[in-house]
A and B are shown apart, each in its own frame.
Chain A
């Protein structure tokens, strides 16, 4: 029984690992292949199956004039837009969430839960519905095809996620902790900054991660709201595709675009293993 259990455990771990790692391996090997090796059947081992070359990677940094697709600028555009929009969304979202969790709002029949739902409802609509209003809105304030315009739109898209996660999180932090802080001489702002916020780091990390992921992978709005001046990475990657699919440079660009998310995951994992994420508040 015990042996069967261990066998099954490792069996599923191995299967799952293969499932997760295989696409990465495929992308990695493919990125070093040229046209012939890609079309020459299934090959995996460099130098044995095929002769690796760096063409796929070089294309990514060469300027368009030399037949490349320079992704460096879009890459930093994407990083800048995602990080800025996520940061602002987290700050605004956390503040709104705290207010929604702790204070009672009433405007006619609109109450706290309705306001929270209003935030979430922003994400219920299909993006296509939002695209035209966003387009018209940005064009009326002259922010089409600009980083600022994208940041504004991404804040609208990301803040609901932050609000949603943080309202739920703050609702689980006992009110008595805030009250104790007030009794111990904090004004409401100090109570929030010195007591509630330090105990909400797990929630902040989760909310931040979701914002970064959703911001980073967005293609749709980046595609619709930008043209020539500003380009974001997902749009640029899709633009790589031409009559002959360049699997090698597509694979290379896929790997670079996943890299930041993997780094974020590693940082969060370090926090998790410190053990101060779970059970901070009983």
Chain B
């Protein structure tokens, strides 16, 4: 849930990167932290969770305009996928204003993508949020691997696997090279902005 901070005239909201382990959530965040330095506020917090890292930092997006005279301030998170990290997941996912689902383009991760998406739906449901209503975009990550002759799924297949019922904006990308990272984040924040706006009016 977006929080209006009247002291700073900012609307604080939360965008969470979700996806199967090793899909590139942290790489996404690291790229953003590195490349959009002037919009990043403060240090990146990195917690080593088993098999994955949990990252967090504050982000002040530009060129998005204001809502009722307030700037948007975004907290970017990744969330550890394993079942045991339920408290962390709860803190991160509860009240998330926007989500970016990072799917792995590797053929061998096909099943993991689908399981993770279902997992996301179930987690959101626990906090009374419908995956069909929350601002959500997809990023089909690791597209750069095709240049290295590693077999990846074509976009149509991924769209069919993951986005058929949801029909949310989806972007091919590579968190390693930065392709599509900004686009996905921007699209998600635009959706968040619209949601905040319609909530306030």
Same complex origin of A and B: no
A residues contacting B by CB (< 8 A) are none
Question: B residues engaging A (CB < 8 A)?
Answer: none
